[in-house]
């Protein structure tokens, strides 16, 4: 079984002022200082990026953006470009989150363009895919994921996707308290990995990290992460408090 270093990513969504974000980041640095067996990333709001970058300086925590525009500059009021994220200190960016798809018109085509922009700027894309509760109940989970993965990665070469991270987030489990049990999550993660193998190569499939996102908490993180194809977590609400998020980061201590 290939060894993949787990990535625990915190998506702070539209929470925290700059002052609050810096305080959380500063506390988190202290709490995860000895967590050398995982990679850690947090994605604050755009307004807090530069300040949080300073708070994280010299630590092992990476900084991510929550979205980006596919153009590097232009008359796109309210948008943020990949070069802007890089200049603020980001190394990662979340792309295609279900909330962007649900509320802001994100499509598989625009996700593809955003991934291209991220890669061109040297950012690690955290590419989100997932089905709604209605789609799961009607047996469409795998067809939905097949379309999202294939269209999201269309036109990319094998070499371009070396650092790709995929996050499987069942929409019905985001912020609802519901969580796919570990067997359900493993089944989907295995399906996604096999899609990558079929579309690109077994080497990329073995290397790509597939995170689980959907009401991940300290009491279920270790159970989920014990599965062969779950390589970390994209954490929402539980990442907002340094104490809770650090417990997820240190999930191996519960194994």
- DSSP string for 120-174: HTT-EEEEEE---HHHHHTT-HHHHHHHHHHHHTTT--TGGGTT-EEEE--GGGS
Determine whether 169 is an active site residue.
Answer: yes
Determine whether 97 is an active site residue.
Answer: yes
Place of tokens 């796109």: 76
Of how many residues is the chain composed?
255
- Note the helical H segments in the chain: 18-31, 49-56, 82-88, 98-103, 108-120, 133-137, 141-152, 182-199, 202-207, 218-225, 242-249
Contact 7, 165 (CB under 8 A): yes
Q: Parallel, antiparallel, or unpaired for β 124-129 and 39-43?
A: unpaired
Catalytic residue among 92, 97, 99, 189: 97
d(CA 232, CA 92): 15
The closest alpha carbon to 89, from 127, 36, 26, 43, belongs to 43
d(CA 147, CA 202): 20
d(CA 240, CA 236): 7
Q: Residue 105: which residues within 8 A CB-CB, separation 6 or more?
A: none
Catalytic residue among 39, 92, 169, 189: 169
Q: What are the residue numbers of the active site?
A: 97, 169
């Amino acid at each position: 079984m290939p060894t993949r270093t787990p990535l625990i990513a915190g998506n702070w969504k539209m929470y925290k002022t700059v002052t609050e974000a810096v305080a959380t980041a500063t506390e988190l640095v202290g709490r995860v200082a000895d967590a050398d067996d995982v990679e850690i990333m947090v994605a604050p709001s755009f307004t807090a990026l530069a300040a949080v970058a300073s708070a994280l300086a010299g630590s092992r925590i990476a900084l991510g953006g929550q979205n980006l525009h596919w153009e590097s500059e232009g008359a796109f009021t309210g948008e943020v470009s990949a070069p802007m994220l890089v200049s603020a200190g980001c190394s990662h960016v979340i792309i295609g989150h279900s909330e962007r798809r649900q509320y802001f018109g994100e499509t598989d085509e625009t996700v593809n363009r955003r991934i291209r922009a991220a890669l061109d700027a040297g950012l690690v894309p955290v590419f989100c895919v997932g089905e709604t509760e209605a789609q799961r109940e009607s047996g469409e989970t795998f067809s939905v994921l097949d379309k999202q993965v294939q269209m999201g990665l269309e036109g990319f070469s094998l070499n371009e996707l070396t650092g790709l991270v995929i996050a499987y987030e069942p929409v019905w489990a985001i912020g609802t308290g519901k969580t796919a049990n570990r067997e359900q999550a493993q089944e989907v993660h295995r399906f996604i990995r096999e899609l990558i193998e079929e579309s690109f190569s077994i080497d990329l499939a073995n290397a790509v990290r597939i995170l689980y996102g959907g009401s991940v908490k300290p009491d279920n993180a270790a159970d989920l992460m014990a599965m062969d194809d779950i390589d970390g977590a994209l954490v929402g609400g539980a990442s907002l408090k340094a104490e809770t998020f650090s417990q997820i980061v240190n999930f191996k201590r519960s194994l």
